[in-house]
């Protein structure tokens, strides 16, 4: 990818790596994150998308979140093309990025796509290596 921003991608990879059963692979020439290798929940466009030059994140979102966030902060959040009609949320990654907010929207996206049992395990902490004996 031209102009790839490793710092930005590394931070998003770290957020997604904290979630269980998440894998990354390229789709449409850009990094996508999947639950159990099947369902995408986050797409990163480090160079922008179709003429937009700002780095951006697209992610699944709970019902109503897209309208609420775009309405409350349109300088950061937007309705992305193609997936916006399904309620996905766009997040600008240029300027001062609030990485706590990025983590929150990625975790919400995971919850929207992951099987309920996997979300329950993650919520219970049983997925954590710190819970192992020893």
pLDDT by residue (tens digit) across 12-30? 999 999 999 999 999 987 8
Work out the end-to-end distance of the chain between its first and last CA atoms, rounded to an integer number of angstroms.
Answer: 43
The pTM for the full model equals 0.84
The pLDDT value recorded for residue 95 is 82
The pLDDT value recorded for residue 96 is 87
Q: Is 81 helix (H, G, I), strand (E, B) or coil?
A: coil
CATH number of this structure's domain 6-131, picked from the four choices 3.40.640.10, 3.30.300.30, 3.40.50.12500, 3.90.1150.30:
3.90.1150.30
Per-residue pLDDT tens digits for 35-80: 999 999 999 987 766 666 789 999 999 999 999 999 999 999 999 9
Binning pLDDT at 50, 70 and 90, where does residue 131 land?
very low
Query: What's CA 127's distance to the chain center, in Å?
Result: 20
> Is the per-residue pLDDT at 2 higher than 90?
no
């Amino acid at each position: 990818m031209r102009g790839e921003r490793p710092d930005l991608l590394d931070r998003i990879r770290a957020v997604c790596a904290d979630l269980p059963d998440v894998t990354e692979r390229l789709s449409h020439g850009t990094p996508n994150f999947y639950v159990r290798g099947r369902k995408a929940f986050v797409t990163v466009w480090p160079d922008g998308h179709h003429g937009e030059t700002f780095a951006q994140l697209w992610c699944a979102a709970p019902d109503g979140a897209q309208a609420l966030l775009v309405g409350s902060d349109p300088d950061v959040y937007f309705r992305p093309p193609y997936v916006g009609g399904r309620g996905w949320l766009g997040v600008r990654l240029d300027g001062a990025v609030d990485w706590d907010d990025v983590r929150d929207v990625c975790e919400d996206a995971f919850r929207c796509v992951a099987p309920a049992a996997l979300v329950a395990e993650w919520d219970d902490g049983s997925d954590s290596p710190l819970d192992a004996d020893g």
